């Protein structure tokens, strides 16, 4: 809603609903910088709280920042591993998900039904349970004739995370295709396009733009879900954080360590979220 020039406001009306004003917190770059500043501030604050708590300790102990710096490279390395896992899972999940999504709109009834069932099944199962499922039930190596493919634990974890990604990508693809008005299919048909031509030359190029934002959103969710691999015994940033905390055994370190881990993920996922938002807005304008 547009703000009226102040002099034209009817005297008796209170200013109009502020709820509908576009929220500056989400739109301006300045705000995002403020966010960053405040988050870093929060981190320093968390260290401060902990430092205050540990001030009463009887034994002299190394400062929180020293301990944090000592472990930061190791935990940071673990975080890079999380990122690597997320990229690999996304690649596998996207490829299989596109197939599954196209399968859902297949003219063949059985293929469409099976694709629909698989999508629903993997979309509605908890990620952690799927991860357990794959970790425990996939063999350690695949034998294809004389060829033996080893399946190390990290690879299984990637597959375990790729399954729900696949189902969600399938849903994005199906949704994107369905969002294009059906009349386009009909008019293209009347122009003697084949089904394949309609799909690849007319529908998908339009739908693709709409699929990108939810796809990126899914990637951010996946990146955050990679911490689940710590629960099934793979060493990632979360495992290393816990191991470090046990090794140090100081209660005052919990807050700064977990805050550091949270901020690592935030620093990676927040820019993706902002990019997704701006893309979403641009796509929305174009259609």
Partner 1 sequence: MCFAQSHIQPVDVSFKQKQVASGKIAAWIALIIELGSEGDQAMTLSIKTLIRSACALAAATVWGTSMAQAQDTLAQVKQKGTLTVGIKNDYKPWGFLDPSGKIVGLEIDLANSIAQKIGVSKVELVPVTAANRMEFLNQGRIDLVIATMGDTEARRKVVGMVEPNYYAGATNILSPKSANLKNWSDLKGRKVCAVQGAYYNRRVTEMYSPELVVYPAVPDALNALQGGNCIAFLFDDTLIVSTLSGGDPKWANYEMPLNSEDPQLWAIGVRLADLNGPFGQLVKDMSVDWHKSGYLLELEKKWGIKQSPYLIETNKKLKGN
Partner 2 sequence: MMEPIARWFKWLSSTHGLNYSVFFDNYDQTLFLKGLQTTIFLSLACIFLSIMVGLIGAWLQGSRLRAARIGTAMFVQFFRNTPPLVQLAFFYYAVSSLLPTLTDQFGAQAPIINNLGWAIISFSLFAGAFNIEIFRSGIEAVPTAMTEAAESLGYTRFQIYRIVVVPIAFRICLPSLGNNLVNLVKTTTLAYAIGVPELLYASAQIWSEAMNVREMMVLLLITYVALVAVLVGLMQRWERSLRIPGYIA
Binding region for partner 1 (CB under 8 A): 59, 70-71, 74, 77, 135-136, 139-141, 143-146, 152-153, 231-233, 235, 239-240, 242-251, 254
Strand partners, 141: 150
The least distance separating partner 1 from the CB of residue 17, rounded to whole angstroms, comes to 46
Chain position carrying tokens 């990108």: 212
Is the CB of 51 or the CB of 212 nearer to partner 1? 51
Residues at the contact surface with partner 2, assessed by CB under 8 A = 1, 13-14, 16-20, 23-26, 31, 34-35, 38-39, 49, 53, 121, 124-130, 132-133, 136-137, 220, 224-228, 230-231, 238, 242, 245, 251, 254-255, 257-259, 261-262, 265-266, 269-270, 273
Is the CB of 105 or the CB of 245 nearer to partner 2? 245
Provide the residue count of the chain.
287
Greatest extent of the chain over all pairs of C-alpha atoms, in Å:
87
Is the CB of 59 or the CB of 183 nearer to partner 1? 59
The least distance separating partner 1 from the CB of residue 243, rounded to whole angstroms, comes to 5
Tokens (6 digits) for 66: 């020293």
Measured CA distances, 224 to 25, 79, 198, 227, 268 (Å): 23, 11, 37, 6, 10
Q: Which does 249 bind (CB under 5 to 8 A by kind): partner 2, partner 1, none?
A: partner 1
The least distance separating partner 1 from the CB of residue 65, rounded to whole angstroms, comes to 16
The least distance separating partner 1 from the CB of residue 71, rounded to whole angstroms, comes to 7
Tokens (6 digits) for 141: 């190596």
- Three-state SS at 70: helix
130 contacts 118 by C-beta, under 8 angstroms? no
Q: What is the DSSP letter of 136?
A: H
Number of C-beta neighbours around residue 269 at 10 A: 16
Is the CB of 41 or the CB of 126 nearer to partner 1? 126
Number of C-beta neighbours around residue 134 at 10 A: 20
Q: Which does 243 bind (CB under 5 to 8 A by kind): partner 1, partner 2, none?
A: partner 1
């Amino acid at each position: 809603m547009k703000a009226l020039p102040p002099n034209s406001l009817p005297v008796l009306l209170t200013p109009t609903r502020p709820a509908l004003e576009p929220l500056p917190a989400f739109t301006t770059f300045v705000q995002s910088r403020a966010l960053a500043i405040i988050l870093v501030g929060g981190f320093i604050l968390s260290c401060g709280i902990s430092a205050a708590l540990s001030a009463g300790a009887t034994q002299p102990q190394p400062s929180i920042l020293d301990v944090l710096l000592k472990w930061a490279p190791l935990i940071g390395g673990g975080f890079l591993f999380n990122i690597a896992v997320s990229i690999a899972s996304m690649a596998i999940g996207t490829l299989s998900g596109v197939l599954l999504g196209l399968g859902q709109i297949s003219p063949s009834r059985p293929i469409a039904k099976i694709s629909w069932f698989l999508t629903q099944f993997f979309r509605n199962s908890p990620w952690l349970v799927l991860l357990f499922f794959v970790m425990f039930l996939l063999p350690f190596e695949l034998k294809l004739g004389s060829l033996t493919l080893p399946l190390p634990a990290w690879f299984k974890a990637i597959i375990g995370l790729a399954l729900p990604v696949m189902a969600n990508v399938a849903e994005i693809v199906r949704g994107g295709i369905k969002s294009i008005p059906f009349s386009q299919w009909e008019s293209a048909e009347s122009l003697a396009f084949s089904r394949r031509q309609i799909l690849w030359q007319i529908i998908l190029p339009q739908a693709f733009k709409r699929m990108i934002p939810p796809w990126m959103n899914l990637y951010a969710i996946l990146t955050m879900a990679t911490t689940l691999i710590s629960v099934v015994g793979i060493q990632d940033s979360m495992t290393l954080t816990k191991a470090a905390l046990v090794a140090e055994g100081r209660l005052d370190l919990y807050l700064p360590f977990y805050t550091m881990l949270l901020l690592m993920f935030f620093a990676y996922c927040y820019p993706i979220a902002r990019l997704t938002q701006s893309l979403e807005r641009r796509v929305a304008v174009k259609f």
